[in-house]
Chains A and B, each alone.
Chain A
């Protein structure tokens, strides 16, 4: 305990160096800048939300009859939760809108028109989470590397204390120091949220802590890698190893997992083929109805009703089944992606961040399910209004904020497995680092 206390104080004092403080301060400012950018982005979505609802209400007032309403439909907006401020650029979804009509197609799109062309698209590092992975990992790798490169210093200290105790003291002191630093940045980011009037719900708090936990795990993992790089006899070899490890875990591994997932996703039915299948079902019905009953006129409304009800029970059900099948296939692929991501701390961090942001795969599937449900409700509404009402004026289908989808922050499947794998990696890496450390104190 005495050695640990002395080492901890010594390591903390070393950090008080002007240069190191400057680097850490710069990093802190950069992180907070990205949180503020995320907050601005979130606020702009909230503002857009009101404009979106007003426009949607006005659109309905423009329709003269239900046939127009059915053809144009309504739009549904994906509204991310407040935790998305940390993941503006690194999550799967940047912005999402869906158009729901009575047609066979289900339109979910990311707009590139007008100002949305210039908004940040997904898949980068330009946010708090991304910068933590890109620069934070590099900083921590170097922090680990630097803790092991001063061989004479360790040799001298080893004369005064047990090697294992010395190693544990150095490693645990540094782990505590950078964990506190990251949590401090996290704390300051919360202050920014509060200053901007963003309040987290209880569930969001839990997931914020989960994200911080994953961030600390990722940092410890990179730190352990750094300590291994620091134990090389040649500093050059150590440094090259450090940069290679950074490249592998920050770029290569996520790229491979994305590539594998994309490759496996080839099994999912083609969206064009699916649209064709649905069109075939619908057109098959149209042809059959025309052959049986002839063209629809004012005199045979009863027959038309029967036909529509039959289509509702059979063809539309078949179309819905196709959409549900697609959702299931996507779900399977998402599950595969999440399981694969668990194996490496950097991909686990990305996967967890995706879901915690509320802009990940899980929320996409929820959004998809919600649209699917609304679509069938809208078709039913359309049938009822078109064929059974008194045809006077067009009533809006959407009540209140039903056309807004509020994403929920969730944990990815296999979250505990991911934590467990990360812990195992960390333990193994520290064990390797200790063996190498013992060897490195040899002259």
Chain B
């Protein structure tokens, strides 16, 4: 469960104001914001590298400030950034996680098959297709067996088949009781993966819709109302 209570974060301008969100186990929430810095600050708060805020952020009843170790174990942060060592081979990355997380070989077998790792093992990260790379990141993140997931526009700019696959995975994770927070500005993809969708503008949560209700609305209109930089 992910809980954000009365969250306030002010830098040069108010980045987040009085944000209240509760994402239950087995629920996915898409938070849409046109301002990248708001999303960045939220990711930093969950990563534990931004503590200059007021309010409360809790993961499975553990406060993110006072119980950092437990929170780190209970959360996975995934962003689409590609600033990885380009010379690093896929096999090296996979082996690193296997060793550092002390995961038995059997658990990796499923991952090997799923990612067709034999084909990718000796390839450098820079040589991988974006789709292949994101699948690897996602699969590695799943190995952590965390119950809370924060995605930062992870499916943004990806082809349709990846998005469909991602949607299936999200649905499977929800069935397993995971809480998912998806941070993005993609109004069209939001109802596909979120049970609830929140619209933020200038750091404030202005509107919250259920996916079924949003699908009935004019998404373009919603986009121009909340997310366009006009």
Give chain A's interface residues, CB within 8 Å of chain B: 2-3, 5-7, 9-10, 13-14, 17, 19-20, 146, 149-153, 155-156, 158-163, 438-439, 441-443
Contact = CB atoms under 8 A, between A and B. Distances in A.
Chain A interface secondary structure, helix, strand, loop or mixed? helix
Contact of B49 (A7, A19, A161, A438): A438
Interface in B76-114: 76-79, 81-85, 87-89, 92-93, 95-97, 99-102
A162 to B, nearest CB: 7
B44 A443 contact: yes
Contacts of B77: 155-156, 159
Contacts, number: 85
A20 B44 CA distance: 34
B40 interface: yes
Nearest to A8: B99
Contacts of A20: 87
A66 to B, nearest CB: 75
A441 B49 contact: yes
B47 A156 contact: no
Given A2-B100, A7-B96, A9-B96, A153 B84 contact: yes
B81 A155 contact: yes
Interface residues of B, number: 35
A167 to B, nearest CB: 13
Given A2-B102, A152-B79, A443-B44, A160 B85 contact: no
Contacts of A151: 81, 83
Contact of B85 (A9, A150, A162, A443): A150
A186 B225 CA distance: 68
Contacts of A158: 47, 49
Contacts of A153: 83-85
Question: In this complex, which of B49, B92, B100, B144 has the most chain A Cβ atoms within 10 angstroms of its Cβ?
Answer: B100
B76 A159 contact: yes
Given A10-B88, A146-B85, A161-B100, 8 more contacts: A2-B99, A9-B95, A19-B87, A152-B83, A152-B84, A159-B76, A162-B69, A443-B152
Given A155-B77, A155-B81, A160-B100, A442 B144 contact: no
